[in-house]
Amino acid sequence: MFSGTQAKRAETAAGDGGPMVPAHSAAFDVLAARIAQLAPPDAADIAILAAWSIVHGLATLILDQRIRTADPAALAARMVACLDFGSP
């Protein structure tokens, strides 16, 4: 699924000189923490899954050049702005 170049992009060095950590782990942790703050406790797990699915799907579409945008971050922000993570 990943080429060597993509696999290298999927890793990030730990700031303390420690072992390499998959970038998706750090990104998921940030996303999950933020969604957990926004969603009601009984809906947090499903809201986190929904948000991670959206992020992963958008990234895949951009990398596969199915969506072309000069500013992927702005597109992602516009998408997130229309979501309501408080409703299951």
Digit-coded pLDDT (tens) for 12-27: 444 455 555 556 688 8
Q: Could you state, in order of their start, the residue ranges of all structural domains in the chain?
A: 4-81
For residue 38, the model assigns a pLDDT of 86
The model carries a pTM of 0.62
What SS3 state is found at 22?
strand
For residue 64, the model assigns a pLDDT of 93
Give the model confidence (pLDDT) of 14-64 as tens digits.
445 555 555 668 888 888 898 889 888 898 898 888 888 888 899 899 999
Location of structure tokens 């990030």: 12
| Phi, psi (degrees; rounded to nearest 5) at 66 | -85, -25
